[in-house]
Structure 1
Amino acid sequence: MQTSITVSEYCIRFFESKGIRFLPGLPGGTILPVYDALAKSSLTHVLARHEQGAGFIAQGIARTTGEVTPFLISSGPGVSNAITAVADAFRDSVPILVISGQVPTWLIGTDAFQELDTLSIVRSITKRAYLVTDPSRFPEILEEAFSLCKEGRPGPVWIDLPKDIQNSLIGDFKEKGSIPNEHEDKKILSEDPSRELIDGATELLKNSNKQLLYIGGGAVKSERLIRKISDQFRIPVVSTLMGLGIFSEEDELYLGMMGMHGTAAANEALRDCDLLLAFGVRFDDRATGNLESFCKNAKVIHVDIDKREINKNRKVDLSWNGELSSFLFAWISDLETNYEASNKDWLSEISRLKSNLAPPPNKIHSLVRSVASSINEDAFILTDVGQHQMWVAQSYPFQKPNSWITSGGQGTMGFGLPASIGVALANPGATVLCFTGDGSIMMNLQELSTLKEWNLNVKIILVNNGHLGLVRQQQELFYENRKSGSKFEFQPDFLRLAESFGIESAKIHLKDNFVFFSDWFSKKAPSFLEVIVPEEEGVYPFVPAGKANHEYLLAAGTNWKDVVEKSH
């Protein structure tokens, strides 16, 4: 039997066919036809309180499942409100699909109510953006967009749907079989690395004495192979913020996070290495510091899925654009036959760096460790952006890469709470922990309503120092202690605020004993904990902007050269 179906109905049935369970969004006039189709479907809608929240909820689902996650918004302010979440997904390679309403086609370009030129605005923060003007093309566009989200380097794709197009019929729709029940994502069919490339990489490794693995978010999918190459061929490792969890801190070859707030040991090793194996990274400025000084004496092998990243920030000696796992499979096979590690002196140096430059324990470290000891390894750890993000990155003993979720490239305050909601929806039964700050929590505070509505097991730890902490710290260090706009002269009563949303809350001070955490985590419901932190607490190490990674400060007023000389 053949019939007709509207674009809106097709959209929702398509999502059903892909196994989508949750569809975050926030309705408005121009997206109502899709919402009408949604009301008759098996999909579960997640009503966010802000479009940015909807985007981050979708991100939370996509970041933990690896699957394309759509969300719905209306036109105009709906579009502009969602831009931050989409830009964040673009930078951190998260496969989300935006379906936005648009004014009817005959009103486009007339400055109609809630009209924006959506495509012009979002093209630079998406892999591709579509404006659908021909309903007959919608099935093709939707299929292509869905595939493109995961193809190559994952990322967001945007479809802008005029209201009249949503109501238009797609003719000759076959009730059965027209929408596939299973979808095989298109793959980038790159060739395997050449024999010449593998030989070249092996030769560079043979001719080096101080090799170092530099891994990032793009290496997460190849975690087992990365660990194998480090362990089997005795290659030390440093990680970006997004690569945390691939290696355990107990690993003798792992030096920790590198960069602006990375460990002193990691940054010293970067200065001294003579071969840098850059896998799934983009040489971001927060990771490299001053690029002219970054691994100045090292040859570089760079492997990344995105060809635009090759030679973009750092010229390299050997590169391959493709799936990291394909390169590693081929290279490990070659190394097992043609390479034997001979870097004992370098490994001794690595051990000395780890020992001599280990950060001293402090109260912040103890807080984070107490939290970690109270939850199981299957918990998800999220942060917003600020000092608390760096404290968690530095101190939390991550055991799995997929358990660590944060806003990396865009550094978006307000990410943590809505993203935690998405993670909890996609992972029922898991404990989801969200570290946030007194600045960040106010950015998407309204999503506490969504959290309570779903009664999800999300534990929020608010680190409150009364300031935009990293801004204050930089003003103290680099602006002669001139404070401007970094202190909150008024704050709400966060406990009463959380309780007004129906969420159980408590308050402690950093000096307090943290032994109660086990009981706090045992309750399978949303909870809110405010931790009062002295404003003078800072994030260290700290590499000043424009400086080399080895020019780090270990405390306010310290000279990095004195610290390094003592370590030697």
Structure 2
Amino acid sequence: MSEQITVSQYIIRFLESKGITWIPGVPGGTILPLYESLAVSNIEHVLARHEQGAGFIAQGRSRSTGEVSAVFVSSGPGVANLITAVADAQRDSVPLLVFSGQVPLALMGSDAFQELPTTKIVSSIVKNVYLIQEPNQIIETLEEAYRLCGEGKIGPVWIDLPKDIQTQKITLPNRNNGSDPLIKAGTYNEHIPKGNDISLQWMELFLQEFKSILEDSKFPLLYIGGGAKKEYLRLREFVSRFNIPVVTTLMGLGIFEKDDPMNLGMMGMHGTVAANEALGVCDLLIAIGVRFDDRATGAIQKFCIQAKVIHIDIDAREIGKNKPVTLSLQKDISEILPFLLEEEFLIENKDSLLQIETWKQIPEEHPMKSILLDFASVLPMGEHFVLTDVGQHQMWVAQYFPLCQPFSWITSGGQGTMGFGLPTAIGVALSHRDSHVYCFTGDGSIMMNLQELSTLREQNLNVKIILINNEHLGLVKQQQDLFYGSLYSGSKFYFHPDFSVLCQSFEIGYFEWDWRFGVEDLGKVLEIEGPAIIELKVPSSWGVYPFVPGGKSNQEYILGQVTT
């Protein structure tokens, strides 16, 4: 016998069938029918204090679990406030399923209260956006949208729901005929298409060309990004087996262990000397899961000018977009690595490895290095996640923190969004309640989504916020020092809130860590369950080095001297 339910009830049942147990959001008039169905479901609602915060909370779940997450917002300002978080998800390939309320169909286009043309506004920052104009459309749309989130180059998908559509009824197919659309599924990874079957003949031709180019090179170098992190174990095996040095992007940190002798570290604007120097002289660059963005490559016309380029990526649009390639493969890295590991490559690169060792001897010491290593030395036992906001603190953590696993490292890469850290940490902690979550932020970034301290306290999550306070927008000041004659404008905060009092008002723990006097007390604070802010004050004169100025090659870096 068929069953009739409302569109909003169907959406909630669908999300339950996909294993979603909690959803962040901020309600409003046009999405209240969906919230009515949510209220009587098994899904917990996490009430954010701002729609941008809700979007980043959802990101925390997706980035730490690899699953599609959902977020609910209302129309108009709710949509506008969420855009930053969705744009961030699009740039870093994070699978979000966004549901926004919309004014009733009859009012659309009339400049009704809290109306925005959502589909027009968000179309460039999502994989697809759907406006539901007929109730039965929701059945096919949900399946397609969920699949699209995790298909190919993953990312956000948006569904806009007019208020009157949400309350209309649809007839579910008869469950006895095997056509029930609400079949429980696993993570989005199960939906990743395998593409065209790779014939053995075609694969042999590709591998033959790959082998020829690799064995002819004297200085091969791997360039690995976030698109390859799910295969980090096999990539480690590949590098170890063939002794090919590797550089990584910001998003690729943790794929290789920091002390791996073949790991030259992060490349680009704030990359290591060894990584950036190797890029300047390599004769073969094997790029996997990367998009040759400007922060990584520096001036693209000066990037790896002596090197042949092999580019492997799941997204055809990225291949050859910024850098011409010698050989390319549009495939998921999971499909090609088993074949590469079955091969035998004869690589003569001993001289290049010796050269790398000389670059590694160039000092890159910074007081923040010892601070972060001291912090890491007293972390409690158990699983932990390290997140950052955006600014100098982000680069210091990327440069010096001993990251050992790619999925425990979470930051805003392509969009570089200040305010990312706190709400994303909430989403991570909600998804991993037995883990320790550490969010490094600055006195600029923390203010961008400060209101989510209420959400953090309400959920009483085990999140420690490490606030590195230099009373400035640090990276802005640093560039004004380097390139604008120390003419400061808009980089200094002249009013400084008392974060200890702020924590009291939110009923959150507070500890001021004087990093000059050891870590004994810090270790005790980190052992305490629940949320807290750990503040450490550092001089505004500390910069992030190496520093590659805009428009320069990665080899034209500045090595600054930083003293305590």
Tell whether the 8 Å contact from 2:5 to 2:171 is kept in structure 1 after alignment.
yes
1:219-262 per-position Cα deviation (integer Å, ceiling 9, x unaligned): 10111221111111110011100000011121111111110001
Mapped contact 2:221–2:245 kept (Cα < 8 A):
yes
Which residue number corresponds to residue 359 of structure 2?
Answer: 353
Contact 1:300–1:318 (Cα < 8 Å) also in 2: yes
State the 1:178 CA deviation: 4.3
Report the CA distance between 1:26 and its aligned residue. Answer: 0.6
Alpha-carbon distance in structure 1 between the residues aligned to 2:172 and 2:158: 26
The alignment status of 1:455 with 2:460, answered yes or no, reads yes
Question: In the alignment, what sits opposite 1:365?
Answer: 369
* 1:535 aligns to 2:563 (yes or no): no
1:226 is aligned to: 235
Give the Cα–Cα distance (whole angstroms) in 2 for the partners of residues 138 and 174 of structure 1: 17
Aligned-pair CA distance for 1:332: 2.4
**In 1: Cα distance, 2:522 partner to 2:288 partner:** 37
- Secondary structure, aligned partner of 1:491: coil
Matched residue SS, 2:52: helix
Distance (whole Å) between structure 1 residues aligned to residue 134 and residue 363 of structure 2: 62
In 1, are the aligned partners of 2:511 and 2:525 still within 8 Å (CA)?
no
User: What displacement does 1:190 show?
Assistant: 3.1
Deviation (angstroms), 1:194: 2.6
Residue type at the aligned position of 1:180: I
Secondary structure at 1:555 match in 2: coil
The 3-state SS of whatever aligns with 2:449 is coil
The normalised TM-score by structure 1 is: 0.95
Matched, 1:116 2:116: yes
Aligned partner (choices 510, 518, 524) of residue 523 of structure 2? 518
Q: How does 1:418-457 map to 2 (within 5 A)?
A: 418-457=423-462
Q: Provide the residue aligned with 1:331 in structure 2.
A: 340
Q: How many angstroms apart in 1 are the aligned matches of 2:520 and 2:306?
A: 48
In 2, Cα distance between equivalents of 1:181 and 1:393: 38
Aligned mates of 2:174, 2:488 — CA distance in 1:
66
* CA distance in structure 2 between the partners assigned to 1:86 and 1:140 by the alignment: 23
Secondary structure (helix, strand or coil) at the match of 1:116 reads coil
What code does the residue aligned with 1:290 have?
A
Aligned partner of 1:209 in structure 2 is 218
How do 1:53-132 and structure 2 match up within 5 A? 53-132=53-132
Q: 1:230 to 1:358 in 2, by over 3 A?
A: farther
Alignment partner of 1:446: what SS? helix
The structure 1 residue matched to 2:403, chosen from 398, 407, 411, is: 398
Q: Which whole-Å CA distance do the structure 2 matches of 1:321 and 1:63 have between them? A: 23
In structure 1, C-alpha distance between the alignment counterparts of 2:144 and 2:116, rounded to whole Å: 24
1:179 is matched with: 182
* 1:476-491 equivalent positions in 2, closer than 5 A: 476-491=481-496
Secondary structure at 2:520 match in 1: coil
- Alignment of 1:340 with 2:343, yes or no, is no
Structure-2-length-normalised TM-score = 0.96
Conserved? CA contact 1:225–1:325, under 8 Å: no
Instruction: Name the counterpart of 1:278.
Output: 287
Distance in 2, matches of 1:478 and 1:186, equals 46
**1:190: which partner in 2?**
196
Structure 2 unaligned regions, length at least 5:
none
User: 1:291 deviation in Å?
Assistant: 0.7
1:544 equivalent to 2:553? Answer: no
Decide whether the 8 Å contact of 1:370 with 1:517 is kept in 2: no
Q: Greater shift after overlay, 340-349 or 50-59?
A: 340-349
Report what 1:241 is aligned to: 250
1:135-186: per-residue Cα shift (whole Å, max 9, x none)? Answer: 1110100110011000011100000000001001112454784411236525
Do 1:97 and 1:157's aligned partners in 2 also have CA atoms closer than 8 Å?
yes
2:493 partner amino acid: F
Q: Distance in 1 between matches of 2:471 and 2:196?
A: 51
**What corresponds to 1:167 in structure 2?**
167
Give the partner amino acid of 2:220.
Q
After TM superposition, the structure 1 = structure 2 runs for residues 40-51 of structure 1, keeping only pairs within 5 Å, are: 40-51=40-51
* Letter aligned with residue 347 of structure 2: A
Give secondary structure in 1 for the equivalent of 2:304. Answer: coil
Report the Cα offset of residue 329 of structure 1. 1.5
| Contact 2:247-2:263 at 8 Å conserved across structures | yes
Cα distance in 1 for residues equivalent to 2:326 and 2:274: 25
| 1:560 aligned partner | none
Alignment correspondent of 1:389: 394
Equivalent residue, structure 2, for 1:562: none
Measure how far apart 1:367 and its partner are: 1.4
Instruction: Find the residue that maps to 2:101 and give its secondary structure.
Output: strand
Question: Would you say 1:553 and 2:553 are equivalent positions?
Answer: no
Hey, what's the Cα distance between the residues in 1 that align with 2:31 and 2:375? 42
Contact 2:30 2:101 in 1 (8 A): yes
**Which of 312, 316, 328 is the aligned partner of 2:321?**
312
Q: Distance in 2 between matches of 1:332 and 1:196?
A: 16
What do the CA deviations read for 1:515-535 (whole angstroms, capped 9, x no partner)?
A: 322211111110111111111
Distance 1:172 1:516, change over 3 A: closer
Q: Is the 8 A contact 1:367 1:514 kept in 2?
A: no
CA offset at residue 510 of structure 1? 4.4
Moved over 6 A (4+): none
Shift of 1:508: 3.0
- Tell me the amino acid that sits aligned with residue 168 of structure 1: Q
